[in-house]
Amino acid sequence: MRVLSGCLRGSRRRSLSEIGRIGIVGGTGPLGRGLAARLSHSYEVLIGSRVETRAAEVAEEASRLTGRKVGGATNLDVARACDCAILALPDLAATELIQEMEKELWGKLVISPIVPMKLKDGRFTYSPSDGSAAETVASILEGSRVAAAFHTVPAPKLLAMGERLEYTVPVASERRETFKEVAAVVSSIQDLKPLYAGPLSSARTVEALTPLLLNLGRLNGGKNLSIRIV
């Protein structure tokens, strides 16, 4: 297992503005790998997976991509060790996993880029079971500071390390203080611009941007579309 030095010791309590170690839960997919590579320039980063060896393998790939040390461990160990968790999960089918991490994520910042959507007749549709994915996460992790972000950043662009990411990242959270924490994480990736989108109920609109962008790409011959608000 490849991990950062001392990274699997439990995360100590930090002030609201002090995020030192970011854990990417379910981080072996394109979004998780891209975020790990970009964020490793400013933070200690851990990639999580259900399978420890898979996490270590992807962490090593991310380290080679960025030239920075990225660690890998099980999702539960990553949740325990991080100050901030990013849930790079494809959908809410992993609700059980989130429930398992409730204790480890208590009192921590949790960022959800999860988008419930379906592909039918060549079109993506936003399909939350109730409210939004971020609201569901918040209802499970009642002791965590949950925010919705990173829905408008294409994973392939994150992985293209020479690519400039001049995009806007809407952030939904109940408290402005939480937004400021997330904004610091977003802004650590060069050229990304975080904007406050309102309380967590606004995540319904923010999450729906992803299928919209995918459909715009399909209908107009575009790939990896994003948004920029000027």
Q: Is the pLDDT of residue 106 over 90?
A: yes
Please provide the DSSP assignment of 59-112 as one string. HHHHHHHHSS-EEEEEHHHHHHH-SEEEE--SSGGGHHHHHHTTTTTTTSEEEE
Q: Percentage of the chain with pLDDT > 90? A: 85
- Mean pLDDT, residues 31-37 taken together: 97
- Mean pLDDT, residues 23-45 taken together: 96
| Confidence at 109, pLDDT banded by 50, 70, 90 | very high
If we measure between CA atoms, which residue out of 126, 157, 114 comes closest to residue 26? 114
| The two structure tokens encoding residue 157 | 């662009």
Q: Is the pLDDT of residue 6 over 50?
A: no
- Mean pLDDT, residues 18-28 taken together: 94
pTM, two decimal places: 0.91
Which domains does the chain carry? 21-220 (3.40.50.720)
- Mean pLDDT, residues 137-147 taken together: 98
Average pLDDT over the chain, rounded to whole? 92
* CB proximity list for 96: less than 8 A, separation 6 or greater: none
**Residue 160, pLDDT score:** 95
**Residue 94, pLDDT score:** 76
